[in-house]
Structure 1
Amino acid sequence: MKIRSLIFKVPEPELKVVKSLSVYISEKYSEIILAPQSKDSKAGYSFEQEECEVIDLKSSAEIIGEAVKRNFNKFNIAENKSVSGKMADWPALKASKEKTKIGFKKNYVRLYISGVNEYNYSLNIETVFNYPAGIELTTTIAAKSENVNMGNRILKIFYSDICERRK
């Protein structure tokens, strides 16, 4: 008796990855730059995508929240083809009204948004002040929260009164 061989192919696992987004806010220029992230498929590091979205800081919380969600979901896995190392090629700097890295760092505050885990059901929003004291603010919000709640959370953490005090 001959037994037929069964061809069984194990299904490919769906790639789960923690998504991320950089948000740069400037009161001087009254703008928010949303820089979606990509993860390099070979090296595994994250980098900003070429296309950044710029919205007005005075936009409603609804519009800000909608833009954050839209750009967070632009996260992808891709090969970084623009590895030149030049600051002038930095997508957020190109999208800004600043011409130098020093001016950009002086006039824009960076918030970093990332999924809590690979399912991205909840998002961490954290400040990136890099103060010597090492104090940063972090808040967590559901990814499916209302746009107005997301926008309000971004604005609250941006307008929080945390500052470096020198003696």
Structure 2
Amino acid sequence: MTNEQQRKVLPSDKQQLLDVEGYEVFNRELMRKVFPRIVAEVRAIKPKTKVGDIIPFYFAIMSYIDGNKYRADGSINARFGYAFPSQERIYEMTGIDRKRHKRLTEILKANGILTDVRDHYEGTKRFLWYKPSFSPRISEDGYLVNDDGEKIVPDYSVILR
């Protein structure tokens, strides 16, 4: 039996997408457990907030991850694993006003979905680099689990003042 015959049959054109590497991996449990929990928790504190925007915000960031460990010259790529869409590009993709990006970023960070957000300057131009977690371990009640086996429980008191 050939390798191609052994492959699992995939729906629609998913196999084509995988073959050409035009995709990014995400943990489906984020959509099933984590994001609904976050939305419920934040709405319990601030009922009228548009916290559901964390979902398109997160996926806009995910679509810009730099997967090149090395630069063309062979040196280590400092932004490997980071996403770097501009605030304007995120707005164009999602319609989420730039003023709200900081709070959404803080919510994702507090929940362990973004592990790092750093400022990067090229001359006088400022960029934000986001490092998303692929969230390999998620508890049954929708919390990310860190390397020590502990749930990452967010504290929204500062974020939602």
In the superposition, the TM-score normalised over structure 1's length comes to 0.29
What is the TM-score when the length of structure 2 is the normalising length? 0.29
Q: Using CA pairs under 8 Å that are at least 6 residues apart, name the structure with larger relative contact order, 1 or 2.
A: 1
More helix by percentage = 2
Q: Which has the higher strand share?
A: 1
